[in-house]
Amino acid sequence: MFSFSHPRSATLFEQAVVSATGFLVLLFFARHLPTLQWATLSFAFGLLLVAQGMQLSVVILPMISFSQGQPLGAQAQSHWAWMNRAVLVAVLGAALLAAALVRWSSGSWMGDSFFYAALLMPPAFAYEHLRRRLILARRFDVLARCGLAWACGAALGVFAHWRFGGPALLAALSFWPGMVLAWAVSGQRERLRWSAPSAEWLAPLRNFAPSAVGSSLAMAGYSVAIQALLGGLAGAPAVAAFNATRMLVQPVNTLIGAFNNLDMPRSASAYASGGRSLLRFQARSMLRLLLCGGAYLLLLALFTGPVLDWLFGGRYSEPRLAWAWLLVGLLMLVATPSENAFYVTRDTRRLLFSRLAAAAVGCTVAWFGIAQWGAVGAVLGVAAGWSVALIGGVSALWAVRNHRPAAGVA
């Protein structure tokens, strides 16, 4: 029976609502914005993913791993809230600087993308940190209500754009009302503080974060960097088609996110019992994801043409491009759970090497593939990167099968 107080039901519901909201918002803009504006906005969402990778590496994943999936105390919550704001300020400043430099040096449309990404970051960072705190606190009923509030706020933002029109700049502000409503519904009130956490508290994070951040930036090698290659070699229309058809695998991201919301804390708890417990837990996670997501990908492969026509009204109807994304989705279903082993064991250095190898292979395949097949070649580069990531993740899981965990840090 479905209940907002049931962990799995609530996290699945919240993830589905939030991801469906993101999908519908992007679908609206893909259908209604001119091609150049859609390319600019969709590339900004790719840049946002890089920024959120930094948030995951420095805030979200260590917060889960160090607590071993247990609720945080008031002091720890305050420290992690400070870290979340510090990372947001850093990536926001970097995005604005990049926007100014690109616009000044070349006048490229990508300069606007960096600026739009900066507008997207505050609500994305605020909501992601909020939802993870609620999951750790096991406040699943509040989590579900926050997801609905986020969706309602985003709907208001899109309605305002539809009603009054305007450039992609205003489209990038669509999620701000969702942030405000979710914050109001959550009841979470965090005092703004300027002082950093103590050196003793920061010490484990200093060991964890550098490699984790490096691995996040390496991951950008087979996501944003491939889009930049595509834009430079094939132009904005190719980027527009790349990101429009990419939306077909959004339900796969939703499924992975929903499972990870609950499985990451549980995998940290499993590792507390030993490496073999972690191996068994992650193998079950991979199987569940593959069974659920694989069924969706199979149906989509059978009806690719009609689905593309229905979603985009004939604007981005390229079946070969969609099939390439389905391959990426299949790889993500098994690679993402396997990579969790790096985080729960705090072996971020090996994760960095795995991601660097994935980025090198992905960009190389994309470079040659774009010349031959355009956007399809770019997606094949993404698939090549995920293939290498899968090999690295499975190797990490197997390597820790006999490990005993170190003491956690709350």
Q: What is the pLDDT of residue 406?
A: 55
pLDDT reading at 340 higher than 80: no
Q: Stretch 59-77: mean pLDDT, rounded?
A: 75
Q: What is the pLDDT of residues 360-382, one digit of tens each?
A: 999 999 999 998 899 999 999 99
Q: Stretch 160-176: mean pLDDT, rounded?
A: 81
Percent residues over pLDDT 90 in the chain: 28
- The two structure tokens encoding residue 256: 């992975």
- The two structure tokens encoding residue 69: 């999936």
Q: What is the pLDDT of residue 115?
A: 93
Query: Confidence class of residue 263 from pLDDT cuts 50, 70 and 90?
Result: low
- The two structure tokens encoding residue 106: 């070349």
Q: Name the burial class of residue 1, with classes exposed (0-12), middle (13-18) and buried (19+) by CB atoms within 10 angstroms of its CB.
A: exposed
pLDDT reading at 345 higher than 80: no
Closest C-alpha among 31, 51, 249 to residue 158: 31
pLDDT reading at 336 higher than 60: yes
CB 78 within 8 A of CB 190: yes
pLDDT reading at 167 higher than 80: no
Four-CA torsion 126, 221, 223, 375, nearest 10 degrees: 160
pTM for the structure as a whole: 0.79
Burial code (b: 16+ CB inside 10 Å, e: under 16) for 181-204 equals bbbebbebebeeeeeebeeebeeb
CB 133 within 8 A of CB 72: yes
CA 57 to chain centre: 11
- The two structure tokens encoding residue 337: 């759970």
Closest C-alpha among 104, 52, 355, 384 to residue 211: 355
Which DSSP category does 139 fall into?
-
Q: Stretch 328-352: mean pLDDT, rounded?
A: 81
For the chain, give percent helix, strand, coil, nearest 5.
85, 0, 15
Query: Confidence class of residue 68 from pLDDT cuts 50, 70 and 90?
Result: low
Q: Stretch 269-296: mean pLDDT, rounded?
A: 80
End-to-end CA distance of the chain: 34
Q: What is the pLDDT of residues 38-66, one digit of tens each?
A: 889 988 998 998 898 889 888 887 887 77
3-state secondary structure of 2: coil
Q: Stretch 344-371: mean pLDDT, rounded?
A: 85
Which DSSP category does 4 fall into?
T
CB 157 within 8 A of CB 178: yes
Q: What is the pLDDT of residues 189-216, one digit of tens each?
A: 777 777 778 887 888 787 777 777 777 7
Lowest mean pLDDT among 6-10, 16-20, 348-352: 6-10
Q: What is the pLDDT of residue 370?
A: 93
- The two structure tokens encoding residue 294: 């694989």
Q: What is the pLDDT of residue 32?
A: 85
CB 234 within 8 A of CB 371: no
Rounded CA separation 20/249 (Å): 12
Q: What is the pLDDT of residues 84-119, one digit of tens each?
A: 999 999 999 999 999 999 888 877 788 899 999 999
How confident is the prediction for the chain on average, in pLDDT? 84
Q: What is the pLDDT of residues 292-325, one digit of tens each?
A: 888 999 999 999 989 998 888 878 888 899 999 9
Rounded CA separation 100/112 (Å): 9
